[in-house]
Amino acid sequence: MIRSPLNDSEWEAYFNLRFELLRAPWNQPKGSEQTIDEKVHKHFAYFNLKNEIIGVGRLDKIDEYTSQIRFMATLKTQQRQGIGSALINKIELSAKQDGSNQIFLHARENALDFYLKLGYKTDSMSYILFDRIQHYLMIKSI
Ligand SMILES: CC(C)(COP(=O)(O)OP(=O)(O)OC[C@H]1O[C@@H](n2cnc3c(N)ncnc32)[C@H](O)[C@@H]1OP(=O)(O)O)[C@@H](O)C(=O)NCCC(=O)NCCS
């Protein structure tokens, strides 16, 4: 099931997965996985049958017709089983319902194939995170 976290322990698990996948391997401090405006955005957590969160993603509304996907991550042991794709499908549906007809994201180099398979097109190189992780701007019409 994919839905937003609802209570304190679900939010903790949600941000923890983000931290473990996207921050801890680069020795970033706890808290760096969150932005100051989390409450403004839409959150998507993939719950397994034991009600554990094993995949996450965030949707930001940028303007009337544009949304951005951020902080996508699937628990390492559960990758390549369609969880990330299921999250993206749900996120795209939500973006459409919010009136967007375009989604962009900044993909880490390791995730390029994942987004390409889901129909995102590489636009250009964007920023480098933690002096190491090259990102690419990718765009999809929805
Ligand atoms: C990117 C990520 C979210 C994908 O999640 P996932 O649950 O494994 O994705 P899916 O199982 O839905 O993969 C769908 C397709 O994407 C492609 N893909 C996914 N991971 C891939 C990888 N490591 N290498 C090559 N292709 C990959 C494959 O084509 C895959 O289909 P297949 O398994 O049938 O070949 C996950 O690998 C992850 O959390 N990575 C670490 C964190 C990260 O880099 N996040 C992205 C930040 S921009």
Query: 126 with 106: CB under 8 angstroms?
Result: yes
Length of the chain: 142
Task: Note the helical H segments in 47-123.
Answer: 83-97, 112-117
Is 90 exceeded by the pLDDT of residue 89? Answer: yes
Q: What is the pTM of this model?
A: 0.97
Percent of the chain with pLDDT over 70: 100
CA distance 102 to 96: 9
Q: Per-residue confidence at 114, pLDDT binned at 50, 70, 90?
A: very high
Domains, in order of start, for the chain:
2-141 (3.40.630.30)
Calpha distance 55→18 (Å, rounded): 9
Which residue ranges have their beta carbon within 6 Å of ligand 1?
A: 21-22, 55, 72-74, 79-85, 107-108, 110-111, 113-114, 117
| Average pLDDT of the chain to the nearest whole number | 97
Among protein residues, the one whose CA lies closest to atom 40 of ligand 1: 73
Among protein residues, the one with the nearest Cα to ligand 1's atom 5 is 84
**Distance from Cα 133 to the centre of ligand 1, integer Å:** 16
Q: Using CA atoms, how far apart are residues 36 and 49, in angstroms rounded to an integer?
A: 31
